Amino acid sequence: MIDEARLHDFIGKMLGDLGGASSVAMVRIGDALGLYKTLHATGPITCAALAKRLGLNERYLREWLSHQAASGYLAYDPLTATFALPAEQAMVFAVEESPVYMMGGFDTMAAMLDNQPKVQAAFKNGGGVAWGDQAGCLFCAVARFFRPGYHNHLVPHWLPALDGVVARLEAGAKVADVGCGHGWSTVLMAKAFPKSQFIGYDFHPGSIEDARRHAQAHGVADNARFDVAPAKQLPDKDFDLVTCFDCLHDLGDPSGAAAHIRSLLKPDGTWMVVEPMAGDRLEDNLNPVGRLYYAASTMVCVPTSLSQEVGTALGAQAGEARLSELIGGAGFRRVRRAAETPFNIILEARI
């Protein structure tokens, strides 16, 4: 027996979901053509005026603007036939430094769709998809997705939540940022603590090249350098601080990496592990953030880990208990949750 009311509710939900999916291409066009930033700068504007200003085809633009208004992304005033980007929507689509800038999320959705054939095949053969073989510029998308969180939280909130770490960074510390990707976390820390030395490591050479470019562009090349290295073979030691941003669960052998990191830390050093926010049980993660992370985990994190030796495949939603157990198993005697946001948990591990 079909319950008509429940069917009605579910169809309503699916319309919302399909609408969201339809927004991936539309939002990325708006980003690539500078539409959101222009709308943010101009205030309410007609389609013709916006088309003229950006040199775009008015017919296409009218359709795009209509979609954006139907989505609630733009406000439409029928009296003046103008479209406007409300301040709250601007924080999501136009203001790159905002804590809720989400353009990287849309890029990640596009990269995940590109990746579908490879991951789908892996469902049958059980193999992995190497990080460097992921379709599209997944690396750029992921870096862009995480950057607003790091920009707004890392220096003002997360580092101060660690015991004694800021004082050491201010005095001059040696820091490894493992699995640094495009190096935004490394660059932010290097900028904030010029007396400290930062080395970003990642096994993906393309990401390390990008990280070097970012360090140059942001004027931190003197105290931040980047090397290609797998997390279990870091070619340096005596670190005051080691950081892992959203990468521990991607490693093939996170336990092996944890033991290696422990061996490279000074006895009073700190390991800072930033991981996706997750509860310990599946039923704790049946929410909008869990939904996004389980998708990313299926399409990116699990295949990345399974493509490497050991292939632990922790998954993006490992949860604090599982992470603490793994970190403790590597010889860290104290592990605690130092901070959190809706998207991340920040663990502090000490020897």
Footprint on this chain of ligand SAM (rule: CB under 6 A):
131, 142-143, 146, 179-181, 184-185, 202-204, 207, 230-231, 245-247, 250-252, 304, 308
- Please identify, using beta-carbon distances, which residue of 50 and 119 lies nearer to ligand SAM: 119
Least distance between ligand SAM and beta carbon 122 (Å): 16
- Please identify, using beta-carbon distances, which residue of 193 and 245 lies nearer to ligand SAM: 245
Least distance between ligand SAM and beta carbon 278 (Å): 15
Residue 95: strand, helix, or coil:
coil
Helices 138-153/205-217 angle, 10° precision:
40
- Please identify, using beta-carbon distances, which residue of 151 and 204 lies nearer to ligand SAM: 204
Least distance between ligand SAM and beta carbon 95 (Å): 20
Least distance between ligand SAM and beta carbon 199 (Å): 13
Among all residues, whose Cβ is closest to ligand SAM? 181
- Please identify, using beta-carbon distances, which residue of 40 and 212 lies nearer to ligand SAM: 212
Radius of gyration of the chain (CA): 22
Question: Which residues neighbour 108 within 8 Å (Cβ) at sequence distance 6 or greater?
Answer: 138, 141, 142, 145, 296
Alpha helices, DSSP H, located in the chain: 4-32, 35-42, 47-54, 58-70, 87-93, 103-114, 116-125, 138-153, 165-171, 184-192, 205-217, 254-264, 288-296, 302-306, 320-329
Least distance between ligand SAM and beta carbon 139 (Å): 6
Least distance between ligand SAM and beta carbon 111 (Å): 11
- Please identify, using beta-carbon distances, which residue of 39 and 316 lies nearer to ligand SAM: 316
Euclidean distance between CA atoms 259 and 100, whole angstroms: 35
- Please identify, using beta-carbon distances, which residue of 30 and 128 lies nearer to ligand SAM: 128
Q: Which whole-number Å values give the CA distances from 91 to 29, 85, 97, 309, 340, in the listed order?
A: 17, 10, 8, 41, 21
- Please identify, using beta-carbon distances, which residue of 252 and 269 lies nearer to ligand SAM: 252
Q: What is the DSSP string of 250-316?
A: GSS-HHHHHHHHHHHEEEEEEEEEEEE---SSGGGG-SHHHHHHHHHIIIIIHHHHHTSSS-----T
Least distance between ligand SAM and beta carbon 211 (Å): 9
